[in-house]
A = this chain, B = another copy of it.
Amino acid sequence: MTIHKHFDEELNLLKEKLLSMASLAETMIYKAVKSLAERDESLFEVVNQNEKKVNYLQIEIDELCLKLLALKQPMATDLRFITSAMKINSELERIGDLAVNIIQRAEVLIKQPQLKPLIDIPRMAELTQKMVKDSLDAFIKRDVNLARSILTRDDQVDGLKDQIFRELLTFMLSDQSTIPRALELILVSRHLERIGDHATNIAEDVIYLVQGKDIRHHIEEERDN
């Protein structure tokens, strides 16, 4: 029984580490978009520091998963949980990278006059941040309904991205001096869209984990239609 207890403790540690990583990633999204919306370059450093932490956590989590896989003969359920944890770990690390990409765009943008007050980009950020949080909660609680709600929210994020694109296109067409800044903002919206995609990947992993094998591309086909 001691072995089992030890294994469960390690699994709990794994969950905790993933939740910390998700929480760092959420903060990074928030601060990155805040730095842009409020033109506050003091936030860049916070995002960069968090990225370092995320990177260390990624390695720790990977090592922990390998240890769990190597030292015990996990049961089928635990096995899928651990391999899902490894995938989620990669997704979270990419989300951190995308937050860094956003501050790179912010660095360029806040040197120039503001094109327009930002409304939809902060909304996208808020949505994707919540998606990241909920995707991890869905994973920990094995909550398929919560996971499915993330797929729906990803459609909203894509809708906002299209709306931002159309609005900025109008700016560019009416005043060509806005083109470089509008392009930077379009890129920010694409980075946020990709964050939404990574949260969606996590949600799909959760559904796969809980419901079994060939759901992932079935979901994708549903969503493509």
What residues on B are CB-neighbors of A55 within 8 Å?
Answer: 216-217, 220
Report whether A176 and B172 are in contact in the complex, using a CB–CB cutoff of 8 Å.
Answer: yes
What residues on B are CB-neighbors of A83 within 8 Å?
Answer: 65-66, 69, 83, 86
In whole angstroms, what is the CA distance A3 to B98 when docked?
Answer: 44
In whole angstroms, what is the CA distance A186 to B216 when docked?
Answer: 30
Nearest chain B CB to A108 CB, angstrom units = 12
What residues on B are CB-neighbors of A176 within 8 Å?
Answer: 172-173, 176
- Which residues A58-99 have CB closer than 8 A to chain B? 58-59, 63, 65-66, 69-70, 73, 76, 79-80, 83, 86-87, 90
Say yes or no: is A127 at the interface (Cβ < 8 Å to chain B). Answer: no
What residues on B are CB-neighbors of A210 within 8 Å?
Answer: none
- The answer, among B90, B173, B213, for a CB contact under 8 Å with A63, is B213
What residues on B are CB-neighbors of A87 within 8 Å?
Answer: 86-87, 90
Each complex incorporates copies of this chain amounting to: 2
Residue of B nearest to A65 (CB): B83
Say yes or no: is A183 at the interface (Cβ < 8 Å to chain B). Answer: yes
Nearest chain B CB to A67 CB, angstrom units = 10
Say yes or no: is A180 at the interface (Cβ < 8 Å to chain B). Answer: yes
Say yes or no: is A160 at the interface (Cβ < 8 Å to chain B). Answer: no
What residues on B are CB-neighbors of A190 within 8 Å?
Answer: 190
What residues on B are CB-neighbors of A79 within 8 Å?
Answer: 66, 69-70
Say yes or no: is A169 at the interface (Cβ < 8 Å to chain B). Answer: yes
Say yes or no: is A214 at the interface (Cβ < 8 Å to chain B). Answer: yes
15 other A-B residue contacts (CB within 8 Å) besides A55-B216, A69-B69: A55-B220, A59-B213, A59-B216, A59-B217, A63-B213, A65-B83, A66-B83, A69-B83, A83-B86, A87-B90, A169-B180, A172-B172, A173-B179, A176-B176, A183-B186
Q: List 7 A-B contacts (CB under 8 A).
A: A58-B216, A59-B214, A65-B83, A66-B83, A70-B76, A83-B83, A86-B86
